[in-house]
Structure 1
Amino acid sequence: MQNSLTTLRKERGMTQADLGTLAGVSRQTIVSIEKGHFDPSLPLAFRLAEIFECRIEDIFTPD
């Protein structure tokens, strides 16, 4: 799954650690999602969409 997490995060001046704290996960989890090594659980995807005030589909797209 492709994602725009890095772009959204950087546009808001957030570090991976900042986003991890807001989402309740580790920085390593955010790194893994951004690199496409890990697909988030549905609850985490909803939380990320909530943080960025957008739809899940605006962050994650199928390959």
Structure 2
Amino acid sequence: MAVTATVEYALSEGPYKTQIRAEYRYDNSTGRQSGFYGGGGIDGPLVAGQATLLLAVLISYGDR
């Protein structure tokens, strides 16, 4: 199971365009021999859930 939510905000001023994006993703893996590395890294136990947060700022310049 995986759930993803994305929010984006765009601002234009003259030829400049700025986009700010935030994405949150939660993955849950409970199958046989599945999971994600926990706090101990590759030597630690596998955990069923993993959350990820991504932030991005995109700045562009042009007529289009």
TM-score by length of 1: 0.19
Q: Which has the higher strand share?
A: 2
TM-score by length of 2: 0.19
Q: Which has the higher helix share?
A: 1
